[in-house]
Amino acid sequence: MRTNLRKWSLLLGVAVALPLTSSAQLTNQDINVRNGIESHVGNITGHVKDAKSSYRRFCVGCHGTLGDGNGENFPWVDPKPRDFQMGVFKCRSTPTGTLPTDEDLFDTIARGMDRSNMPQWSQLTKQERADLVAYVKHFSPRWTNEKPGTPIVIPAEPEVTPERIKAGRDVFARVQCWKCHGVQGMANGPSASTLTDDLGRPILPFNFTEGARPKCGDTDKDIYRIFMTGLDGTPMPSYADNIKPDEAWDLVFYLRTFMSQHSKEKDMAKSLGLKPVDPNAPAGQQ
């Protein structure tokens, strides 16, 4: 037992230094630049140096000392931990392909990722979370070369009506959401079993019917945001160039008919006698 504790202490002791000596062989200047990265969340400033103990206590087991997602828990968790060195994140308020804001990372740490091993860390103070944001950023060179994208504008949510739900089903059919998510939102579409993430690892589409909340938040605005930003690193693209804001809201309302046994959206769909999308129907004739 004492030997194991000593080994563990040694591992923790080097956890702070290892991120600064990755396989990319960072120069002293690179190290200094990355260590100087900050986060800014409201009036809170986060610092790399202040997150070292929190990272090795809460994060290193999955994300690893190098932030590459190869922590000691890697073989046992699915989906796999995020590789921070890539600087690619699913949950963002910014356009596809761009870096998230500090607030995006801050919110993810507090919210956790449902249906994964990433728990909520809401028990951490806001300062501790802001420091962890800076620490996450210091793993990737993207944060020294790029600025976060500009958050997308989410228009005011309109009133849900039966007509909007029907229009949402038409959008669901037109952009072929059913190919992955299935015609009833059960993640059993014809493409579901073929999906992989950007690293070639199998990934499942979201099942709207199983009662789980979407990973990036479960409010209507959160769901809208996912359509318009996409989930980088996954097959879920941004539809910002394919659907209009009003259509995105219609789609949110239609998806709500899958997500609860009892909801006003489901009741409205029943009142219309709304049937699932027919994949064999000609375009525009759902």
Distance CA 21, CA 50 (A): 19
Instruction: State mean pLDDT over 115-141.
Output: 95
Averaged pLDDT score across all residues of the chain: 89
Angle, to 10 degrees, between the axis of helix 264-272 and the axis of helix 162-174? Answer: 80
Q: What is the pLDDT of residues 149-186, one digit of tens each?
A: 999 999 999 999 999 999 999 999 999 999 999 999 99
CATH number at residue 166: 1.10.760.10
On whether both 10 and 140 belong to a single domain, the answer is yes
Grouping H, G, I as helix, E, B as strand and the rest as coil, residue 206 is: coil
Kindly state whether residue 92 falls inside one of the protein's structural domains.
yes
**How does residue 16 score in pLDDT terms, banded at 50, 70 and 90?**
very low
- Contact yes or no for 152/94 (Cβ under 8 A): yes
Residue with tokens 């960072």, as numbered in its chain = 26
Residue with tokens 């037992």, as numbered in its chain = 1
Grouping H, G, I as helix, E, B as strand and the rest as coil, residue 38 is: strand
Of 154-163, 246-255, 266-275, least confident by mean pLDDT is 266-275
Burial group, residue 79, by CB count within 10 angstroms (0-12, 13-18, 19+): middle
Q: How many domains, in total, are found in the chain?
A: 2
pLDDT > 70: what percent of the chain? 90
On whether both 17 and 134 belong to a single domain, the answer is yes
On whether both 180 and 128 belong to a single domain, the answer is no
Burial group, residue 116, by CB count within 10 angstroms (0-12, 13-18, 19+): middle
**Helices and strands in the chain: count of H runs, count of E runs:** 12, 2
Please identify, among 120, 145, 170, the residue that sits at the C-terminal boundary of a domain: 145
User: By residue range, what is the domain housing residue 31?
Assistant: 2-145
Please identify, among 145, 170, 205, the residue that sits at the C-terminal boundary of a domain: 145
The per-residue pLDDT for 36 is: 93
pTM of the model: 0.86
Please identify, among 116, 145, 174, the residue that sits at the C-terminal boundary of a domain: 145
The per-residue pLDDT for 1 is: 38
Is pLDDT larger for residue 101 or for residue 10?
101
**How does residue 284 score in pLDDT terms, banded at 50, 70 and 90?**
low
Kindly state whether residue 280 falls inside one of the protein's structural domains.
no
On whether both 166 and 140 belong to a single domain, the answer is no
Kindly state whether residue 258 falls inside one of the protein's structural domains.
yes
Q: Which helix (H) or strand (E) holds 137?
A: helix 126-137
Grouping H, G, I as helix, E, B as strand and the rest as coil, residue 173 is: helix
On whether both 11 and 125 belong to a single domain, the answer is yes
The per-residue pLDDT for 261 is: 72
CATH number at residue 60: 1.10.760
On whether both 8 and 135 belong to a single domain, the answer is yes
On whether both 122 and 248 belong to a single domain, the answer is no
> Does residue 114 register a pLDDT over 60?
yes
Instruction: State mean pLDDT over 84-90.
Output: 96
Kindly state whether residue 153 falls inside one of the protein's structural domains.
no
Q: What is the pLDDT of residues 35-79, one digit of tens each?
A: 899 999 999 999 999 999 999 999 999 999 999 999 999 999 998
Kindly state whether residue 67 falls inside one of the protein's structural domains.
yes
Kindly state whether residue 34 falls inside one of the protein's structural domains.
yes
Instruction: State mean pLDDT over 133-148.
Output: 96
On whether both 255 and 182 belong to a single domain, the answer is yes
The per-residue pLDDT for 282 is: 74
Q: What is the pLDDT of residues 190-231, one digit of tens each?
A: 999 999 999 999 999 999 999 878 889 999 999 999 999 999
On whether both 120 and 172 belong to a single domain, the answer is no
Kindly state whether residue 264 falls inside one of the protein's structural domains.
yes
User: Euclidean distance between the first and final Cα of the chain, in Å?
Assistant: 66
> Does residue 33 register a pLDDT over 90?
no
On whether both 93 and 182 belong to a single domain, the answer is no
Distance CA 46, CA 5 (A): 31
On whether both 112 and 209 belong to a single domain, the answer is no
The per-residue pLDDT for 29 is: 78
Kindly state whether residue 279 falls inside one of the protein's structural domains.
no
Instruction: State mean pLDDT over 4-9.
Output: 37
Is pLDDT larger for residue 87 or for residue 30?
87
